Every structure is written in C-alpha cells, then in structure tokens.
Amino acid sequence: MASNTNNKATAGKATVFDVSVVGAGLVGLAAVIALAEQGKNVVLVDAKQKPDYATTAWDARVYAITPATEAFLKKLGVWGLVDPVRVNTVEAMALWYENVPLNLLAEDASLDKLACIVENNNLMHALWQKVDRLDVVVVLGSPCEHIQYQGNMVTVGLVNGEQVSAGLLVAADGANSFVRQQLGLSTNDKDFDQIALVANYATSKGHNNIARQWFAPHETLALLPLPQQQVSMVWSLETERAKKLLSLSEESLAEQVDMQIQHQLGELQATSQTHSFPLRQITASKLISERVVLIGDAAHQVHPMAGQGANLGFRDVISLANLMASSHALQDVGEVTFLRCYERDRKADIVSMNTLTSGLDYLFASDNQVMKKLAASSMKQLEKYSSIKNILIKQAVT
C-alpha cells in the first residue's frame, strides 16, 4: 500500500490494521496520534492531498481552544509544535445584547486564561508534524468508494482500487460524512437560515486579549483576539443580509463591522479575504455502527455562536482514547459493547452543546419585545452575580 505523505515508506506493511481513520482534519489527525501513541496499528485515509499548512499568511479560520483541549494537545506532543507567536490568549469575554453587557474574566475564576485563539493552518501544521513522526500509514488523494464487512474486519474500498481493512473504522470525514451516509446513519438537521462571514482585521485600538460577542435577533458577531493587534471575525447573519454584505468591498464591509461594534476597536483594516459558509446543526442519530464510530463533524456540527465545535470534536477523541487505554490488551475495540460505551460517554456532552446553541439562538432571535426584555434582564442579572459567572466560566474552559 502506497503512502502519499512525505514519501513515508510503507512497503511490506500489513494492509490490515487495528484502526482506520477516514478524514484528515483536526479531529481525525488527533485520533490518529492518540491511538498510534497507544501502540495501535493505525492507517489514515483522506480523499484530498495534504495542503501546505506552513504559510505566513494569516488564516481567517481560527479556533478558541479551551485549557482542557490545550492540555490534551500537550499530552499528545502537538501543542509544543504550534507556533506560539501566532497564538493569542483570551483573558476575558465581553458579551452584549441590547447594549446590556456581560463580562467574564479569567482572573475572577482564578484562571490565567479562558482560551487560546489559534489559526487552523498553525494547528493543522503541528498535527501533521506529529503524524509524520509516528509509524502511521497515510493514504491520501483517493476518495472512499464503498464499505464492506468480512468477519471481524471493516474494509474501506478506495476509488484508486486500494482497500483498507481494520477492526475499527473511525469516521472523521466531516459534516457530509461519506462513511455515515454509506452506512445509512440518519441525522437530525436544523437549518438556521444563516450564513457566517469570516475575516481577519487589524485594529487601530488594542483588543486587550478580550473576546467580544454581540447578540441580536438572528445575528451573532464575534471578534476574537489575534496577535499583532488583529481580530478574527465570525459574523452570523440571516442569509439575505449576509449575501448583501458579501457583495461589498473589503473597505465597506469593514465599515459595517465597525458600526456594528460601535467603534470599540477603532479603525478596522482587512488582513484576509472574507469567507462564508451556511450554518446548520447536524447531529447523527447514532454515533456508532458495526465496527464504526463517528467523531467530530461526522457526529455533530454545531452553530459557531458558542465557539465550541472544535473542542467538542477533540472531546470525542479524548473519550475514545481513554476507553481504549482502559481496556485490556485483548479487547476487540470494534466489538459492539465497547462501542456502546463510547456512545454513552459522548451523548450527554453533545446534547448539552446542542441545547446551549439552540437555546441561545431562541433567546436572542426573537423580535418580540417581551422576549427581548427577558433576554436583556437575564444578562443584567448574570452580570451581578460573580458566583454564577464563575460557574459559566468553569463550564466554558472544560
């Protein structure tokens, strides 16, 4: 079996593995590393070739990595490979609704930070560096074509004619997961009828390591702090309004953002292109099938308003890796009882995140004056009670 990553030699390696991972995104790569570090014979499959993640251009796609996720990435030996110059800590969160503020400070909860903001390219480059140091077979550039079973093995057939067999298949192939669809696993979908605009801006005023977020009916605008006095914007809007904003020049869009945030950060200047993507909530009805587990966006895709999509996916990997680590040496990790343990472990977290994002969307989406007053009143009450705010902070950093 040939590998297409860094000419890593695979001649003579077995084509039957303990675990096959389909999908070379953040979560898939983390799963490969975590399981390979446990001594599992792992193969990674992805339909695309590996992009060049070692770029100096600022990536508009960023993640708010919680301290718990950071600790996991340190344990994997990945965080030390992230370029620290391009990472910015979040020391506070400032939220607004109807001009009512809610401030969450790390120091009030005896923490040094709430999160780290890291670019997709920076984190992906670090993950790939770690994968390249491991004894992992990597097959890139050929989409999956079919899945079949034989005995205690699940085999993925690729378009290029290669076949990859393993005792367990980990599906990390995104919201439109081929594996999930091929196995007939249904999803519960919610279309928010929104589009998220994503871009980076240099600011004339310092962001002071504060993540800022403004809520309005059917709209959320977040500005996350980046190094070099920049912020990363995620602006979720109703589809029609988003399309109108996308038609503007970079300068005009920056002016719209500046007005929306009431000029808090001074003059804004675009430092990246503006990207957009539709917002959906997708939850697989089952997280497991015969010798298959779903992780990351293949299992759940959530609204970005909570900023927890990547962390939720990493927690999938933590759960799976912990279960494997605690199992006995002869445990068949594709056996249904084992897989049900994973599903039970992850269900509550996923339901909780869906409830949070749907609840926030419902609370702040209404144009009804009674609901608007209720939401604003809730924000005012939360701002008064440090004990409740500390509970919110502790939940946010896990």
In tens, the pLDDT along 88-128 reads 999 999 999 888 888 889 998 889 999 999 999 999 999 99
- Give the pLDDT confidence score for residue 232 in this predicted structure: 97
Percent of the chain with pLDDT over 90: 74
Least confident of 31-40, 262-271, 293-302, 344-353: 344-353
- The pLDDT of 205-220, averaged and rounded, is 93
Alpha-carbon span 339 to 191, nearest angstrom: 29
pLDDT tier for residue 8 given thresholds of 50, 70 and 90: very low
pTM: 0.92
Q: How does 183-195 read in b/e, with b if 16+ C-beta sit within 10 Å?
A: bebebeebebebb
Q: At what angle do helices 26-36 and 120-132 cross, to 10 degrees?
A: 30
- Give the pLDDT confidence score for residue 382 in this predicted structure: 63
Residues 6+ apart with CB under 8 A from 277: 195, 196, 198
* DSSP one-letter code for 328: -
- The pLDDT of 289-296, averaged and rounded, is 98
CB distance 194 to 246 below 8 Å? no
Q: Three-state DSSP class for 392?
A: helix
pLDDT tier for residue 10 given thresholds of 50, 70 and 90: very low
CB distance 116 to 65 below 8 Å? yes
Alpha-carbon span 392 to 363, nearest angstrom: 17
- The pLDDT of 138-142, averaged and rounded, is 97
What architecture is the 16-54+124-188+280-361 domain classified under in CATH?
Answer: 3-Layer(bba) Sandwich (3.50)
For residue 294, count CB atoms less than 10 angstroms from its CB and return exposed for 0-12, middle for 13-18, buried for 19 or more.
buried
Nearest to 65 by CA among 86, 44, 49, 34: 86
> Looking at the chain, which residues constitute the CATH 3.50.50.60 domain(s)?
16-54+124-188+280-361
CB distance 229 to 203 below 8 Å? yes
Q: How does 196-205 read in b/e, with b if 16+ C-beta sit within 10 Å?
A: bbbbbbbbee
CATH H-level, domain 62-119+192-279+365-396: superfamily = D-Amino Acid Oxidase, subunit A, domain 2 (3.30.9.10)
> Looking at the chain, which residues constitute the CATH 3.30.9.10 domain(s)?
62-119+192-279+365-396
- The pLDDT of 164-168, averaged and rounded, is 97
pLDDT tier for residue 238 given thresholds of 50, 70 and 90: very high
Q: How does 240-270 read in b/e, with b if 16+ C-beta sit within 10 Å?
A: eebeebeeeebeebbeebbebbeebbeebeb
- Give the pLDDT confidence score for residue 341 in this predicted structure: 96
- The pLDDT of 339-343, averaged and rounded, is 97
